[in-house]
Amino acid sequence: MKTLKSANYLKEENNRIDIECDHGYLLHLFILEDDIIRVAFSKNNQFKLDRTWAITPNQTDIQWQGRERFSTEGFSLPAYHLVQTQDRIEVTTDLLKVIVHNPLYLEWFYKKDDRWLPLAQDRKTGAYLFALDNTKVSHFLIRKPNEDYYGLGEKAGNLNLKGHRFEMRNLDAMGYNAETTDPLYKHIPFYITKTDDVSYGIYYDNLASCWFDLGNELDNYHVAYKSYRAEDGDLDYYIIYGPSVLEVTKKYTALTGGMLFSPKWSLGYSGSTMSYTDAPDAQEQLKKFVDLCQEHDIPCDSFQLSSGYTSINDKRYVFNWNYTKVPEPKKMTEHFHNAGMKLAANIKPCLLQDHPRYNEVKELGLFIQDSEQDVPERSVFWDDEGSHLDFTNPETINWWKNNVKKQLLEYGIDSTWNDNNEYEIWDANARCYGFGEAIPIKLIRPLHSLLMMKSSYEAQREFTPHLRPYLISRSGCPGMNRYVQTWSGDNRTSWNTLRYNIRMGLGMSLSGLYNLGHDVGGFSGNKPEPELFVRWVQNGIMHPRFTIHSWNDDKTVNEPWMYPEVTDIIRDTIKLRYKLMPYFYNILWQSHKNLEPMLRPTFLDHENDLHTYAECDDYLLGKDILVASVVEDKQRTREVYLPQNNAGWFDFYTNQYFQGGQTITVDAPLNKIPLFIKAGSIIPMSERTAHICNEKDNIRILQLYPLQENATISTAIFDDDGETFNYLNKQYLELKCYLTCTQTSIELTISKMGEWQPSYKELVIKLPESKNRTLIVNGLPRNNGDSILLDDIPYKEQL
């Protein structure tokens, strides 16, 4: 490894400043926004990989062949000020300043109250290291004692990553330990640094396997440092100034394309287990699930069809229906649809060597190729060897899309479950087509999972252009937020997993993966005992993805009715989710429109409350609901810290009011997950607790949680048909609500936008005891529980 030392100004072009370094390297500073500056190194003015598939600042989809690395399209490219001397180059925007020192290291500052304050600084003793063979790259920054770190996507352990080292190398980590296992499924090289005063993010746009050290490593020859090391690829990173953690997360998510707006039914309970499709009578087992949901009165909106439907003997063959197990797929899908359930089918991007269509695909040249021979690469896959499809080949994309349509969608399958897409190909130089320019797999391994989901997404769009697609993917990289819902993979059944999956999910959410969940009950290991299963379901309903899924080692199946003694609790718990479905859908819309995380660590909205930074099992669902999951066996009371929000909190069940900034002890009987609602919130609810059906959802409740002091809070509540893109043509209903509270009155002012007409024709206004305060709705006195007709609500200007 060689350290770059010199830094000499060369030129400026299109908001890019080029700086000449050692060994043929150029440092490029891209002044993209006042709060985002990119640092990239090229060798002889060429990048190792001249494209990116992550960056799309205008929040549109990206072209198949990627975006040119030198492109600045979509950024505002603000004015900046440059000063250069013999030993430094200083670049200043309205919010950020970076000084490129000579000898080379970078120093960053942010503006606050017209003063420039330190933000970050490279290590002076070797900030940038490059291998002589132009492979490995490293970046070192100074690590300060008061820094905390969050992000890196899907990582085991605590939410705060401080003091640990992490690897990114996508693996099928079956049965992982949620506290310790590393690496896992996803490649998200982005993390947030938070100090006492400010936060910033750093995103490394490199798809090669890499390592982050956030305080684990010490070296006496250097000051304390944190580091990024990649086995190959470009050293290309973005500094994203907050100043808050929330703002960093939202800016990073915008940078990588925003958030998919999936259909409403994707928020319902989704059943799944490998057991049904592995059974010799899979079709009957699957139909029986539908019947049992109805028998036990369990609301369910979809089922995730595991890969056993493709099997020949004990192995899986993508796009191959096993007609012995599933003799009539169309009748099976019709049975689900008649019950109001959609189907998502598992698909895999690798064809086993004895796949019935292997030779067809080989002759078409659709596989990634061996590094030395003119044959497809072979890798271990599902107890055999197989070859991976090359999604950088347009012909592969067309083949995949055609099969998604012909083998799934035409059979009545509604959605794709993109699974086992980690691309564990260890022939590092296996050749990918690269859209006409060959690329070794080591540079783009996670890209294939991204292009796989993009292919599935486009197939669904083309098949039903009027419907919003819903997709699931286990593996991925930055940009996957544009296409899919995701989950934390094949977790292992234990109380410890329940606890640490919560923290893992919050880390994913801070990394732009807002629509997520976990395999409720645990995927591998023995079945959960009744109490663990109840607590896992209670936690699961408070995540965007709620799926009970399993492949239990003891050959059992995780099902809502698996324990008769607690089936009533499971049913009521799932129905609670459906009661809150309007709230879930609204925060899904907010995540799409305003890039607001759906799952939020408590500090995200309470950065001034130092107590919220302690590791805990609590989180916010949206901005308004505090979830205090029970993650310990036989626990019947629970301490809950209520963040200081200067408004207070209401117990969801009793409506008892509590001041914020205190720890309370609450009852946590087996049939209840402690929930608290922020004062000043308006929570939309439904009385319908069956599967999602707009036509039958005819009562909408607005539950008010009034402020105790004089103040006004505004809230927007969105609804539409839940399935189509018609909301883009004014076919939506958005309620704009202002809640004004005084010592004598609680006043709600509602206006509406949009032209969509829901089945509910009135809003039922409810609130806790008003303590002699008068309820006023749109200027008229009302009683608690009164209704207001939608037709009587005035219109505001359209969106």
Please give, one letter per residue, the 3-state secondary structure of 194-246: ECCCCEEEEEECCCCCEEEECCCCCCCCCCCEEEEEECCCCCEEEEEECCCHH
User: What integer pLDDT is reported at residue 735 of this predicted model?
Assistant: 98
What is the mean pLDDT of the segment spanning 158-162?
A: 98
Do 718 and 747 form a contact (C-beta atoms < 8 A)?
no
Do 181 and 173 form a contact (C-beta atoms < 8 A)?
yes
Q: In sequence order, which residues have a C-beta less than 8 Å from that of residue 132 and are 6 or more positions away?
A: 1, 2
Say how many C-beta atoms besides its own lie within 10 A of residue 379's C-beta.
18
What is the mean pLDDT of the segment spanning 477-505?
A: 98
pLDDT per residue as tens digits for the range 386-402: 999 999 999 999 999 99
Query: Tokens 């699930």 map to which residue?
Result: 289
Q: How many residues does this entry show for the chain?
A: 799
Say how many C-beta atoms besides its own lie within 10 A of residue 700's C-beta.
24
Average pLDDT of the chain?
97
pLDDT bucket at 771, cuts 50 / 70 / 90: confident
User: What integer pLDDT is reported at residue 797 of this predicted model?
Assistant: 63
Do 253 and 482 form a contact (C-beta atoms < 8 A)?
no
User: Would you state the structure tokens that stand for residue 693, as one six-digit string?
Assistant: 């059906």
pLDDT per residue as tens digits for the range 351-363: 999 999 999 999 9
* DSSP code at position 404: I
* DSSP code at position 405: I
Q: In sequence order, which residues have a C-beta less than 8 Å from that of residue 208 and are 6 or more positions away?
A: 230, 231, 232, 233, 442, 443, 445
User: Dihedral sign, CA of 266, 270, 274, 277?
Assistant: negative
**CA-to-CA distance for 309 and 417, rounded, in angstroms?**
13
The domain 599-678 is classified under which CATH number: 2.40.50.100, 3.40.50.10490, 2.30.30.90, 2.60.40.1180? 2.60.40.1180
pLDDT per residue as tens digits for the range 623-665: 999 999 999 999 999 999 999 999 999 999 999 999 999 999 9
In the CATH scheme, what is the code of domain 693-792? 2.60.40
Longest C-alpha distance within the chain, in Å? Answer: 83
**CA-to-CA distance for 367 and 378, rounded, in angstroms?**
10
What is the mean pLDDT of the segment spanning 11-35?
A: 97
What is the mean pLDDT of the segment spanning 231-247?
A: 98
In the CATH scheme, what is the code of domain 2-255? 2.60.40.1760
Query: Is 0.85 topped by the overall pTM?
Result: yes
Q: Helices (DSSP H) in 354-427: which residue ranges?
A: 358-364, 394-403
Q: Is the pLDDT of residue 671 over 50?
A: yes
**CA-to-CA distance for 30 and 313, rounded, in angstroms?**
55
Q: Is the pLDDT of residue 798 over 70?
A: no
**CA-to-CA distance for 167 and 161, rounded, in angstroms?**
12
pLDDT per residue as tens digits for the range 298-335: 999 999 999 999 999 999 999 999 999 999 999 999 99
Same fold for the pair 2-255 and 599-678: yes
- Report the phi/psi class of residue 106: left, alpha or beta, with left for phi > 0 and alpha for psi in -120 to 50: beta
Q: What residue type is assigned to position 305 of the chain?
A: L
Q: Is the pLDDT of residue 385 over 60?
A: yes
**CA-to-CA distance for 350 and 371, rounded, in angstroms?**
18
CA atoms within 13 A on the CB side of 295: 10
**CA-to-CA distance for 10 and 20, rounded, in angstroms?**
6
pLDDT bucket at 799, cuts 50 / 70 / 90: very low
> Coil, strand or helix: which one is 620?
strand
Q: In sequence order, which residues have a C-beta less than 8 Å from that of residue 607 and are 6 or more positions away?
A: 244, 245, 246
Strand-pair category, 8-13 with 16-20: antiparallel
Q: Is the pLDDT of residue 58 over 90?
A: no
**CA-to-CA distance for 56 and 62, rounded, in angstroms?**
7
pLDDT bucket at 753, cuts 50 / 70 / 90: very high
User: What are residue 109's DSSP bridge partners?
Assistant: 97, 118
Cis peptide before 243 (omega within 30 of 0): yes
Strand-pair category, 190-194 with 302-305: unpaired
Q: What is the CA radius of gyration of the chain?
A: 27
User: What integer pLDDT is reported at residue 796 of this predicted model?
Assistant: 86
Domain boundaries, the chain: 2-255, 599-678, 693-792
User: Would you state the structure tokens that stand for residue 620, as one six-digit string?
Assistant: 């916010």
Cα torsion 143, 146, 152, 157 to 10°: value is: 120
* C-alpha to C-alpha distances, 358 to 365, 530, 701, 733, nearest whole angstrom: 11, 44, 55, 50
* C-alpha to C-alpha distances, 781 to 44, 388, 701, 712, 765, nearest whole angstrom: 74, 66, 18, 18, 12
Q: Is the pLDDT of residue 770 over 70?
A: no
pLDDT bucket at 448, cuts 50 / 70 / 90: very high
